[in-house]
Amino acid sequence: MQLVLPKGKVKAINCCLFDPTTGNLYSFSNFLNMEVTINNQNHLLNEACSIEQMLDLVLVSETNGLAIAVNQTIISKSDWDRHVLNPGDQVILIKATQGG
């Protein structure tokens, strides 16, 4: 289960079932995980994670000059908040560099 916040930000929360007869909550905190490959490394992400959300989790540096391909298809930066990753996706992060 996810709570969608403004500007495509998502905060993952635990998935719970509520039994109204007893008032007990049953938590499934690891229920919403999926595995994707990012630059040849496997990562566990929350299900229904967008590219922008994935970057918040795995990238600690600036996204300027960054290109992203999902399953060998370039995804425009304007679509990062809307492009949802699926289990098994192959993600390539390419950082532009200066040099001569």
Cβ pair 89, 70 in contact under 8 A = yes
d(CA 9, CA 3): 9
Q: Which spans in 1-100 are helix H?
A: 51-58
pTM reported for the whole predicted model: 0.64
pLDDT tens, residue order, the chain (100 aa): 333 333 433 334 434 445 556 665 544 444 467 889 999 999 888 777 899 988 888 876 778 889 999 999 999 999 999 999 999 999 999 988 777 5
- DSSP one-letter string for 86-97: -TT-EEEEEE--
What proportions of the chain, in percent to the nearest 5, are helix, strand and coil? 15, 45, 40
